[in-house]
Structure 1
C-alpha cells in the first residue's frame, strides 16, 4: 500500500520524488540553522566583547541575507530532482535569479558600508570624514544595484551588449550636456580621496583666503577673514595651487631692521646679540639667525629669522608685537636710532666770498 502510494504520479513526478524534495529542503533548513547556531552566535558573542557597536551592526546586516541565500540554494537544489514543465522551470529560474541578486546586492552592500564605517571610525579625528562617507555610501549602493540589474538581465537571456551600448550612448549625451557638473563631481571625489584640506583648515587659493566650512558635491565654501562667505567650484580648487596653513607645524618669520648710517661699528656688532636675547626671552619662539645683511638706500639693514612653535596666526602676531616692543626698548637704551627716509642737499653758492 505504501509503496503503491509512493509510486503514484502527480504533475509528472511521483510522491516519492516530492518526498525526497521536501526531505532535502528540511535537511537544508536544518544545516542553515546549525550554521547560524555555530558561526553567527560566535560572531555575536565576539561582537559583544568589542568596545564599538560597528561589529554588532555588521552581524545584524549579514545575518538575514546569508540565511536566505542558504534557504534559496537548498530549495533550488531540491527542485532540480523534480521533473518540471518548461514554464514552471523558467519561472523557478527567474524567481531564483531575482531573489539571489537582491540578497547578494544587500549582502555586498552591507559589507561595503561596514568597511567604510570602519575606515571612518579609524579616522574619526578628521571632521570631514563623516561628510565624505555620507557622500560615498549612496554612490556605492547605486553602483552595486547597477551591477545587480545587469546580472539579472544577463541570466534572464536579455542582450546585455545592446543595453550597455544604449546606456553608453545615453551616458555620452548626458555627459556632454552636464560637463561642468560632472567635472565638479569628479573634483569633489578627488578632494574626498586626496584630502588636500579638511573642514576647519585655513587655506589660500589664488587671491582668496579663508577657513573651509563646507565641502559640497559641486562647490566648496570658505569663510574669509572679513567674515563673508567665499564659494569656489571644486574644479577651480583642484586646478589651483592651494596653501594649507592648518598643517603647518612651525611658522618661519623673516623681518628686517634698518638703523641709521651714523651708527658706529660697536653698536652694529652688538645688534645681532641684542635681537637674539630679545627673541630667546619670548615664549613659544626659537631664534634662528640675525645678520647685517645689506646697505640700504637710507639705512643699514639687518635680517632676522625666528620660528614660532605653532600655526596659530594670532599667536604669531602677538609674538611679533612683543618682539618689536622689546627691540625698540633695547635700542632706546643703547642709543641706537632706527633709520627713516632722509635726503641730504648740498648747496654751492655761486660767487660767494670765502670767509676769512
Structure 2
C-alpha cells in the first residue's frame, strides 16, 4: 500500500474517531432531563466521563477541517483552478447544511461555524508562512483575551463560567423545538461565534501540520507526531485535568484552551497507531474508517438518533431514565456508535459514499467550472 493511500486511511480513521467522540460530548446534552449541559460534581463518574470527551473531539474535528481545506486547496492547484474561487460554493453548501441541521435536528450544530471559518481561512491558506503565523498569533491572542476576560468575570462573580448555551429544548414537540431554535438563535449560536478566532487558528494549524507531514508514514512524519504528542498529551493533558477539576470557573479554559492541545496530541497518537497496525486494519479500524468516509452523514445521523431516543417527541428516555444516569448514557452512546459503524459499513458495501456525501458531490461538482488559471506550484 502506498504512502498516499495510507494517508487517506489515517485521515478516515481520524474522522471516524472525531465523529464518535463528538457524540461523546453531545450525548450528555441530549440525555439531560431538562436540556443543556448541566453540572457534575468533581470526580464523580459522570464528571470524569464528560472530562474525557469535553472539547477534545471538537478540537480534533476542527483540526481535521483544516486538513480537509488544505487538501481542497492542493486539489484546486493541481487542476489549475482559481482559489478560493469555487471553494466558496462549498462553504455556502456547508452553511446551508449546518443551518438545516441546526433548525431541524440539533441546537449545538458546529457546521455553520465551520462554514464561516472556512471562508476566512480559504483566503489565508495559500499565503506565506510568515503571514499565516501572524494571523495565527493575532487570532490566538484574541482568543486568549476573550477566555481570560470571561474566566476573570466568573471568578469575580463567584460563579462558574457559562456553558455557552445551557437552556435545552428537550421538552415539547419536535415543532416546538424547531420554533425555539428559530426564535432564540443567540442562545444556541453564541458558541459558534465565540470560537471563530480559535477555529481560525486550528484550521491553519491543521493545514500546516499536514504540510509538515503529520499524516506521512515516514521518518519525518513520525518525528513530528512525537513532538505533537509531547506537547498535546504531555503538557496539554495535565493542564486539562487541572482546569477540569480544580474550579468550575475554569470551564472555558478547560474546553477552549486545554482541550484543543490534547486534540492535537490525539491526532498524532491515532495516526501513529494506524501506521503501527499496518495493512491489516481489523474490524474496529475498518468500522472507524467507514464512519470517517461517511463523516457528514454520520454526524447528522447520530444527532437525529439521539434526539429520537432522548427527546419528548421520541422515546423520551432522558426523562424516564434520569435516575439511571450516568450508566444508561454510556449504554446509549455505545449503542449509537455501534449503529453508526454497522450502518456505515453496510452502506459502503453497496455505494461509494454516504448519502449526504453523495448529495454534496452532486451539488458541488456538477456545476463546477473548467480550469480558470494556470497551474500553481503545490506547497511542500
Q: Which has the higher contact order (CA 8 A, sep 6+)?
A: 2
- Between Structure 1 and Structure 2, the one with more strand by share is 1
TM-score, length-normalised on structure 2? 0.22
TM-score, length-normalised on structure 1? 0.23
- Between Structure 1 and Structure 2, the one with more helix by share is 2
Higher Cα Rg, which structure = 1
